[in-house]
C-alpha cells in the first residue's frame, strides 16, 4: 500500500516534470534542492522495486 506522503512526492515530481522548477517551487513551496533529492530517492526506490520484480520472475 502506498502512503499519502509517497503519493504527494510523486504528484510533486510529475508537476515538476511538466511545468518546471519555478512553477513547482511556487505551487508547492519546495526548494530546487528538495526536488532533486526527492527525484534521486524516487529513482533509487524504483530501481530497487524493478530489481526485486525481475528477481521474482
- CA–CA gap between residue 2 and residue 42 (Å, rounded): 13
pLDDT in tens, 10-25: 899 899 999 999 999 9
- CA–CA gap between residue 27 and residue 55 (Å, rounded): 39
Q: What HEC string does 4-49 produce?
A: HHHHHHHHHHHHHHHHCHHHHHHHHCCCHHHHHHHHHHHHHHHHHH
Q: Per-residue pLDDT averaged across 47-53, rounded? A: 59
Q: What is the pTM of this model?
A: 0.68
pLDDT of residue 8 exceeding 80, the answer is yes
Question: What residue ranges do the domains of the chain occupy?
Answer: 4-56
Residue among 23, 25, 52 nearest 38 (CA): 25
Q: Which residue has the cell 504528484?
A: 11
pLDDT of residue 26 exceeding 90, the answer is yes
Q: Please provide the average confidence, as pLDDT, over all residues in the chain.
A: 81
Amino acid at each position: 500500500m502506498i502512503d499519502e506522503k509517497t503519493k504527494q512526492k510523486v504528484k510533486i515530481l510529475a508537476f515538476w516534470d511538466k511545468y518546471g522548477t519555478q512553477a513547482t517551487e511556487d505551487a508547492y513551496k519546495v526548494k530546487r534542492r528538495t526536488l532533486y533529492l526527492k527525484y534521486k530517492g524516487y529513482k533509487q526506490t524504483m530501481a530497487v522495486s524493478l530489481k526485486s520484480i525481475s528477481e521474482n520472475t
